[in-house]
A and B are shown apart, each in its own frame.
Chain A
Amino acid sequence: MRNEDLLPLQEVTADEPDRLRELAEAEYRTIGRRNRSTDGLFKSTGKAVYTDDLTFPGMLHAKILRSTEPHARILSIDPAKALALPGVYDVITGKELPTPYGIIPWTPDEHALALEKVRFVGDAVACVAAIDEETATAALELIEIVYEPLPYYLDPQEALAEEAAENPIHEPRKPGHNGNVLKRVQLEFGPVDEKMAKADVLVEGEYFFHGTTHTPIEPHCAISRMNQNGLLEVWSATQVPHYLHREIARVLGLDVAKVRVVQPAVGGAFGGKSEPFDLEFCVALLAVRTGRPVKILYTREEVFYSHRGRHPMKMTYRVGASRDGRILAVDAKTILDGGAYASFGLVTTYYSGQLLTAPYEIDSYRFDSTRVYTNKAPCGPKRGASIPRESTRTKPRAGPSGDMAPCSRASPSRSRSTRWRRNWTWIRSSSGGAYSWGPAAR
């Protein structure tokens, strides 16, 4: 289909279902009509196979021991008593998997099991493979760990303080930087100060978004085994089998041709399963070491520890508009609470500023976004990564019910208003409907 053919449909909004249907029937075979997924009956008859539905002969079950400290140096780990428990086959700790990984190749700052430090309550420290889940869980309590607690930061402002830089959550990547800052992005488009000075209306506000989590109904699960051809096979409830393949090979030091990753049906993810997690490396290494298939199924608590939900953000916005409803300038300062690891954070830092104009034509804008490490579960992407949150800061302000209503409502052209409404609808749906649309804390 040529681009021009799509034009009539771009002019119609979600408020005009009859017109949408008319166009759909006249020109389009699929838009506005219902389709059917190929696996619908498989899922509605209970035949779809998810990762935890799989089992293999001789399969062991593994459990991950998680940190009870928000920020601490690991002085010692002693697995002797756990290994002595009947039914326990193996215990692994961070030193067995020393290669760092991360979904963004520039910021690999995670280890499957903590190497020297733990960085949040829930950080993985050791992993036990046993004959069944009960034995593995009992063995976790027998692992002796000595921590040396370090100062911890639960708020980005605390982590940005000068004294926090002396005990940073991560070592700074460049000398002289605060290790608690993953990324700062400052970009400017157009003459912001000049346009702001000409604005008829200025709206300023501070907003806070508290963060959300995906909560897929299926908890994360992974199984691994060495097959008869010497191939390491990994089944995982993941959104990113190819990234996982690459990282498993790299972290375990295997040739990529010797690793096979299979993605069974996934019971919901929403961005929360879009990077490699500790359990996948643990089952892979344990399968190599024990020579038996190994499975890990997260508990619901562990799903919340793995998190990667939408970043909490503090946003300071200045929006200048003309009397005829045009946004002339936006000046934004954003602090992202990233949690303990980078995840997709580098990208989210850019998105938090670069996407703030969508869907408007804004004459000029400037943003200053900083993603900060804190001693909490790491944040990542969730449903329309970073877009809905930023967009709410500009849109309700400018929209019919926002603060600019008296001047902006009066004269926007039909096309502008139409475009605004269409994108408003899109933004709402991309946020999954679980959003508060009023201005947040002032």
Chain B
Amino acid sequence: MKDVITLHINGDEVEVGVPTHFTLLETLRYALRLTGSKQGCDKGDCGACTVLLDGRPHLACIMPVYEAIGRRITTVEGLAEGRVPHPLQDAFDLCGAAQCGFCTPGILCSAYGLLAENPDPSRDEIRRALSGNLCRCTGYTKIFEAVEIAAESLRSGADPRDIVAERYDLVFPPSSMQPAERPAGPSTGASHA
């Protein structure tokens, strides 16, 4: 049996016909083709499916899609403002926090929820907020660093590139830090020499 429902996703209002047993994750991935949110375990253990509902992280793989009706859904595709990545996304890129990248969308949503509530989290608070998200590649350190850099960027308004260049010795020249699709801004990142 199918049903037509209306969802509010990443600022868009979309109408979609789904089997009534579908989870929010199945609806996003297989009905709407928003494949950024990932299915890892399909049981609410790994956190790869984490999305934001009214700004708070939820596990989409164990949420019936009906529970998401009337709520503001944000997925990894909706974190950027237009073509400008969210500071979290920039920080994950610059720190190497996305290795295979499969847990990344869920971790970004959990971190986004944390920073909305706590703009200056300690390492322990970040650890706790991300405790529902498994990563098998990184060992988490680079992820924690990336969240700290994003938090500082959101507090001070500084470009994540400048914070990264100040904190770490970098191989890449600052000129390569500007992604091709990013509109040219005033900051090009500090020199690492």
Contact = CB atoms under 8 A, between A and B. Distances in A.
A35 B171 contact: yes
Nearest to B76: A46
Contact of B38 (A35, A41, A215, A217): A217
A49 B98 CA distance: 14
9 contacts: A40-B94, A43-B104, A44-B85, A53-B29, A218-B38, A218-B100, A265-B100, A265-B101, A299-B42
Contacts of A265: 100-101
Interface string A262-300: 000111111000000000000000000000000000011
A267 to B, nearest CB: 3
B107 to A, nearest CB: 9
A50 B38 contact: yes
Contacts of A173: none
Contacts of B23: none
A265 B38 CA distance: 13
Contacts of A25: 169
Interface of B: 19, 29-30, 33, 35-43, 46, 48, 75-77, 79-80, 85, 88-90, 92-105, 108, 134-137, 139, 164, 168-172, 176-177, 179
Interface residues of A, number: 43
A30 interface: yes
Nearest to A433: B139
A33 interface: yes
A384 to B, nearest CB: 15
B136 A214 contact: yes
Contacts, number: 132
A271 to B, nearest CB: 12
Given A44-B88, A44-B89, A55-B30, 7 more contacts: A21-B169, A34-B169, A43-B98, A46-B75, A55-B33, A265-B101, A300-B40
Contacts of B104: 43-44, 46
Dominant secondary structure at the B interface: loop
A32 interface: yes
Contact of A40 (B35, B36, B96, B168): B96
A45 B38 contact: no
Given A46-B77, A217-B38, A218-B38, A267 B171 contact: no
A215 B101 contact: no
Nearest to A429: B139
Nearest to A37: B96
A36 B93 contact: yes
B102 A40 contact: no
Contacts of A432: 139
Contact of B48 (A43, A55, A134, A217): A217
Given A33-B171, A217-B48, A40 B92 contact: yes
A219 interface: yes
B98 A44 contact: yes
A162 interface: no
- Of A21, A25, A267, A270, most buried by chain B (CB within 10 Å of CB) is A267
Interface in A164-217: 214-217
Of the candidates B75, B93, B136, B171, the one having the most CB atoms from chain A within 10 angstroms of its own CB is B136
A48 interface: yes
A275 to B, nearest CB: 18
Given A41-B179, A214-B136, A217-B135, A34 B96 contact: yes
B101 A48 contact: yes
Given A44-B104, A218-B102, A36 B172 contact: yes
Interface in A242-276: 265-270
A217 B136 contact: yes
A216 B136 contact: yes
A52 interface: yes
A442 interface: no
A33 B38 contact: no
Contacts of A215: 136
Nearest to B39: A52
A29 interface: yes
A47 B38 contact: no
A16 interface: no
Contacts of A32: 169
Contact of B102 (A39, A47, A50, A55): A50
Contacts of A44: 85, 88-90, 92-93, 97-98, 101, 104, 108
A300 B171 contact: no
Contacts of B39: 52, 219
B42 A39 contact: no
Contacts of B30: 55
Nearest to A265: B101
Contact of B171 (A30, A134, A216): A30
Contacts of B101: 39, 42-44, 48, 265, 267
A196 B90 CA distance: 58
Of the candidates A32, A39, A45, A270, the one having the most CB atoms from chain B within 10 angstroms of its own CB is A45
Contacts of A219: 39-40
Contact of A33 (B97, B103, B169): B169
Contacts of A50: 35, 38, 102
Contacts of A46: 35-37, 75-77, 104-105
Contacts of A270: 136
Contacts of B80: 45
B96 A45 contact: no
Nearest to B176: A36
Contacts of B19: 134
